[in-house]
């Protein structure tokens, strides 16, 4: 299986609730390797760029408010099939439907506060890593 990298963000609710260590621990225990880690405020411009594909969705304005509502933690993880491994460890987008044992299934219940973001494909991961770890967003 090919090694790849993926981008993970612990969203502001995860930081606010003191779940940063728990979320990082789950990815580490899964065997993924931490390659970059940063505590940061996500600017409105960065949030809009990151979630650009959702710009025409009804939840978009609330999503931008959510992601910019407090500090977040950005990270890069590497391993075999890392994109899918992270998505499976996070659980379904809607926490109400996420399986117990997943991060979302264990720690949240509402789709508008789902704790964590993980890239959905290797190409997306490349774009998101470049975006969050570019010089101007350091
Ligand atoms: P993902 O985070 O699992 O990749 P996406 O469909 O890409 O899910 O949606 C991005 C984010 O937008 C979700 O993680 C969630 O925070 C938010 N979101 C998605 N769908 C809804 C919705 O129906 N209501 C409110 N927020 C939503
Ligand atoms: Mg997505």
User: Where are the alpha helices (H) located in 2-133, listed in sequence order?
Assistant: 12-16, 20-30, 44-50, 60-67, 82-90, 103-107, 122-132
Examine the residue annotation and report whether 110 is marked as an active-site residue of this protein.
no
What residues line ligand 1, using a CB cutoff of 6 Å? 54, 59, 63, 93, 111-112, 114, 117, 120
pTM over 0.85: yes
Q: Which domain holds residue 61?
A: 3-137
pLDDT in tens, the chain (138 residues): 778 999 999 999 999 999 999 999 999 999 999 999 999 999 999 999 999 999 999 999 999 999 999 999 999 999 999 999 999 999 999 999 999 999 999 999 999 999 999 999 999 999 999 999 987 665
Q: Relative to the alpha carbon of 12, which ligand is closest?
A: 1
Please state the domain count of the chain: 1
Q: How far apart are CA 44 and CA 128, in angstroms?
A: 15
CATH number of the domain that 113 lies in? 3.30.70.141
- Write out the residues surrounding ion ligand 2, Cβ under 5 A: 120
**Which atom of ligand 1 lies closest to the CA of 113?**
16
Q: Which pLDDT score, from 0 to 100, does residue 138 have?
A: 58
User: How many CB atoms neighbour CB 99 within 10 A?
Assistant: 11
Q: Which pLDDT score, from 0 to 100, does residue 72 have?
A: 98
**Which atom of ligand 1 lies closest to the CA of 114?**
16
């Amino acid at each position: 299986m090919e090694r790849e990298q993926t981008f993970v963000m612990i969203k502001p609710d995860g930081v606010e609730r003191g779940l940063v260590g728990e979320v990082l621990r789950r990815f580490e225990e899964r065997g993924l390797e931490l390659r970059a880690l940063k505590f940061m405020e996500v600017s409105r411009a960065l949030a809009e760029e990151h979630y650009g594909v959702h710009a025409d969705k009804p939840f978009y304005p609330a999503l931008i408010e959510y992601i910019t509502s407090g500090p977040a933690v950005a990270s890069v993880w590497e391993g075999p099939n890392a994109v899918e491994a992270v998505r499976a460890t996070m659980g379904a987008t809607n926490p109400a439907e996420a399986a117990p044992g997943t991060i979302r299934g264990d720690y949240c219940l509402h789709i508008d506060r789902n704790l964590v973001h993980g890239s959905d494909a290797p190409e997306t991961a490349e774009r998101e890593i470049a975006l969050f770890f570019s010089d101007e967003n350091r």
